[in-house]
């Protein structure tokens, strides 16, 4: 039975109220879709999209986390068939004892498989492995007529669904390819860089050296230290590299979360003083250069998963995660954006810079070859003006913003940066002419 719920994204901005129901079977999903709702229907997983992508004000939200079964694992191929509500955390723990690995991991394991497909998430290895959609062999989708359809990469609807933000239907199952691993540890090389140009050079030089690369950069220090960074290069560790103690847990992820953020955080907790201190400590704690240090997969891929409800640290007004990608040829625009952030006075601590490889056929998929930058800003006066200015730099460079992180993009910005948008709208109109599937994001952007 549906109940009213107030929902937000992970950024805790723009809340809205919807009728909410939890589905545990495909038949329940089909019944929810066929039941009709004048404000439409939308699937929701673990709520880790940052903006309003998983909200549907006045409509129906179908919680698919009850579709949580791993249906089969083929260790020979290797591949797995799962229901869409299975989290990446559960999936990783299930396949690791078989020496199998999920080929693409975003910054948190606490997302569902269905959400990972709908957002076409990417990880630290996009330059070699692509995004999540590259590894989907088939998916099952309940469309606007209430029927379930099996789609493969040969189907145009498949590529409207991969990265389609849940607007083509409700994903119920997926067949995913896996890769092999000897351990759940990562061999990591770390190096500090004195400024943004050096940080970018280290990342560029890492393309051929390591499958997993990422940099944290300082967005609050002024010249000559603007954009100083810490670059991490990683690869899955072999059994021989582990110590005897590590070998005893070679294929085990550490148990649950350890630290919990209190329900109430003062509005002033993250400010210029605390932000500068955090950036200084984060930079100084990294070694100047370390080669092949062994870390657990959790520490390397998902450090924030060790802090429950870390989004509360930004206070009651929430935060905006701003992520863009620009072509490699527009590297100067990355410098321009970082300089603008530093000059703005806005606080950003969780700053990430990566290099992306070729995209896929997803019509609304975010990745393309280029530099991607992500920064988290507490919501406060003047932030809109900063982000509008960053939008202008990104669009002039031929880049785009990530829909899964977005909470304030305009339709004009979307249309100028996603060449597959018109084709996405055509396919969506074809399979859902009455607009059964919608969201707050879809209404905001007239998708």
pLDDT tens for each residue of 149-170: 999 999 999 999 999 999 999 9
Q: Which two tokens stand for residue 81?
A: 């068939």
Query: Taking Cα atoms as reference points, which of 370, 329, 332 lies closest to residue 227?
Result: 332
Whether the predicted pLDDT of 71 surpasses 80: yes
Using 50, 70 and 90 to split pLDDT, how confident is the model at 37? confident
What is the reported pLDDT for 259?
Answer: 72
What is the reported pLDDT for 134?
Answer: 98
Q: Which residues contact 318 (CB under 8 A, 6 or more apart)?
A: 8, 11, 12, 13, 311, 378, 379
Residue 33 lies in a domain: no
Euclidean distance between CA atoms 212 and 378, whole angstroms:
29
Q: Report the C-alpha dihedral over residues 410, 412, 413, 419, rounded to 10 degrees.
A: 130
List the alpha helices (DSSP H) in 192-270.
196-205, 244-247
Is the same domain home to 153 and 290?
no
Residue 213's domain comprises 185-410
What is the reported pLDDT for 62?
Answer: 98
Q: What is the CATH number of the domain that holds 273?
A: 3.30.70.2520
Is the same domain home to 189 and 172?
no
Q: With pLDDT > 90 as the criterion, what percentage of the chain qualifies?
A: 83
Is the same domain home to 74 and 111?
yes
Let me know: does 340 contact 388? Beta carbons within 8 Å: no
Residue 51 lies in a domain: no
pLDDT tens for each residue of 72-92: 999 999 999 999 999 999 999
Using alpha carbons only, give the angle 375, 378, 380 rounded to the nearest 5 degrees: 130
Let me know: does 115 contact 45? Beta carbons within 8 Å: yes
What is the reported pLDDT for 434?
Answer: 95
DSSP per-residue codes, 367-398: --SEEEEEEEEE--TTHHHHHHHHHHHHHHTT
Is the same domain home to 78 and 219?
no
DSSP per-residue codes, 24-87: -SHHHHHHHHHT--TT-EEEE-S--SSSSTT--TTSEEEE-TT---EEEEETTTTEEEEETT-B
Mean pLDDT across 268-289: 70
Q: Which residues contact 206 (CB under 8 A, 6 or more apart)?
A: 213, 231, 233
Q: What is the CATH number of the domain that holds 88?
A: 3.30.465.10
Using alpha carbons only, give the angle 151, 119, 162 rounded to the nearest 5 degrees: 20
Whether the predicted pLDDT of 368 surpasses 80: yes
Q: What are phi and psi of 390, to 5 degrees?
A: -65, -40
Residue 190 lies in a domain: yes
What is the reported pLDDT for 349?
Answer: 87
Strands 179-180 and 100-101: antiparallel
Strands 185-193 and 136-142: unpaired
Query: Taking Cα atoms as reference points, which of 29, 11, 59, 3 lies closest to residue 436?
Result: 59
Is the same domain home to 197 and 340?
yes
Mean pLDDT across 115-143: 98
Euclidean distance between CA atoms 384 and 111, whole angstroms:
28
Three-state secondary structure call for residue 128: helix
Mean pLDDT across 182-194: 96
Is the same domain home to 202 and 350?
yes
Is the same domain home to 291 and 207?
yes
Is the same domain home to 213 and 345?
yes
pLDDT tens for each residue of 336-347: 999 999 999 998
Mean pLDDT across 114-127: 98
Token pair 């924030």 is at which residue?
Answer: 304
Whether the predicted pLDDT of 107 surpasses 90: yes
CA 436, 429, 83, 133 torsion-angle sign: negative
What is the reported pLDDT for 256?
Answer: 62
Let me know: does 266 contact 161? Beta carbons within 8 Å: no
**Least confident span in 26-35, 113-122, 274-283, 433-442:** 274-283
Residue 422 lies in a domain: no
The total number of structural domains that make up the chain = 2
Euclidean distance between CA atoms 98 and 180, whole angstroms:
9
What is the reported pLDDT for 258?
Answer: 64
pLDDT tens for each residue of 282-332: 677 767 778 779 999 999 999 999 888 989 888 889 999 999 999 999 999
Is the same domain home to 124 and 255?
no
Euclidean distance between CA atoms 154 and 138, whole angstroms:
10
Using 50, 70 and 90 to split pLDDT, how confident is the model at 209? confident
Rounded to 10°, the helix 331-344/196-205 angle is: 140
Euclidean distance between CA atoms 361 and 419, whole angstroms:
11
Is the same domain home to 190 and 170?
no
- The overall average pLDDT reported for the chain is 94
Bridge partners of residue 187, in order along the sequence: 235, 294
Let me know: does 107 contact 304? Beta carbons within 8 Å: yes
Query: Taking Cα atoms as reference points, which of 182, 183, 190 lies closest to residue 210?
Result: 190
Euclidean distance between CA atoms 243 and 230, whole angstroms:
26
pTM summary value: 0.96
Let me know: does 139 contact 50? Beta carbons within 8 Å: no
Whether the predicted pLDDT of 273 surpasses 70: no
What is the reported pLDDT for 414?
Answer: 98
Is the same domain home to 101 and 193?
no
Euclidean distance between CA atoms 84 and 171, whole angstroms:
6
Residue 43 lies in a domain: no
Q: Which residues of 421-431 are buried (b: 16+ CB within 10 A; e: fewer)?
A: beebeebbeeb
Q: Which two tokens stand for residue 353?
A: 């810079």
Whether the predicted pLDDT of 97 surpasses 90: yes
pLDDT tens for each residue of 391-444: 999 999 999 999 999 999 999 999 999 999 999 999 999 999 999 999 999 999
Three-state secondary structure call for residue 115: helix
Whether the predicted pLDDT of 254 surpasses 90: no
What is the reported pLDDT for 257?
Answer: 59
Whether the predicted pLDDT of 268 surpasses 60: no
């Amino acid at each position: 039975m549906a109940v009213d719920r107030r929902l937000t994204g992970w950024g805790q901005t723009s809340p809205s109220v919807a009728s909410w129901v939890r589905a545990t079977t495909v038949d329940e999903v089909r019944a929810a879709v066929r039941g009709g709702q004048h404000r439409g229907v939308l699937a929701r997983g673990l709520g880790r999209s940052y903006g309003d992508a998983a909200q549907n004000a006045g409509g129906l939200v179908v919680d698919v986390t009850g579709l949580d079964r791993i249906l089969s694992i083929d260790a020979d191929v290797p591949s797995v068939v799962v229901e869409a509500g299975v989290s990446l955390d559960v999936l990783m723990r299930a396949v690791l004892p078989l020496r199998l690995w999920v080929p693409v991991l975003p910054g948190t394991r606490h997302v569902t498989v269905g959400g990972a497909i709908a957002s076409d998430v990417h990880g630290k290895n996009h330059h070699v492995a692509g995004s999540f959609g590259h590894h989907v062999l088939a998916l099952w989708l309940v469309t606007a007529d209430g029927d379930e359809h099996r789609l493969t990469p040969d189907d145009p609807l498949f590529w409207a669904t991969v990265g389609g933000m849940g607007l083509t239907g409700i994903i119920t199952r997926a067949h995913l390819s896996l890769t092999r691993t000897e351990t759940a540890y990562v061999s990591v090389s770390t190096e500090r860089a004195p400024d943004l140009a050096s940080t970018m050079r280290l990342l560029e030089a890492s393309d051929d050296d390591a499958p997993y690369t990422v940099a944290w950069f300082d967005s609050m220090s002024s010249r000559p230290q603007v954009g100083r960074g810490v670059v991490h290069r990683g690869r899955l560790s072999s059994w021989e590299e582990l110590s005897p103690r590590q070998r005893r847990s070679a294929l085990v992820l550490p148990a649950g979360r350890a630290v919990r953020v209190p329900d109430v955080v003062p509005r002033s907790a993250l400010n210029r003083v605390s932000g500068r201190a955090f950036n200084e400590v984060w930079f100084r704690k990294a070694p100047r250069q370390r080669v092949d240090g062994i870390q657990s997969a959790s520490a390397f891929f998902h450090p924030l998963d060790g802090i429950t409800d870390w989004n509360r640290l930004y206070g009651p007004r929430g935060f905006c995660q701003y992520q863009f990608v620009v072509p490699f040829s527009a590297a100067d625009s990355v410098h321009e954006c970082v300089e603008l952030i530093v000059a703005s006075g806005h606080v950003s601590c969780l700053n990430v810079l990566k290099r992306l490889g070729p995209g896929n056929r997803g019509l609304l998929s975010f990745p393309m070859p280029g530099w991607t930058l992500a920064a988290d800003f507490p919501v406060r006066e003047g932030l809109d003006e900063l982000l509008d200015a960053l939008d202008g730099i990104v669009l002039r460079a031929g880049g785009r913003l990530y829909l899964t992180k977005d909470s304030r993009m305009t339709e004009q910005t979307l249309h100028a940066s996603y060449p597959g948008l018109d084709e996405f709208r055509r396919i969506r109109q074809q399979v859902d002419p009455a607009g059964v599937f919608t969201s707050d994001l879809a209404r905001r952007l007239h998708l």
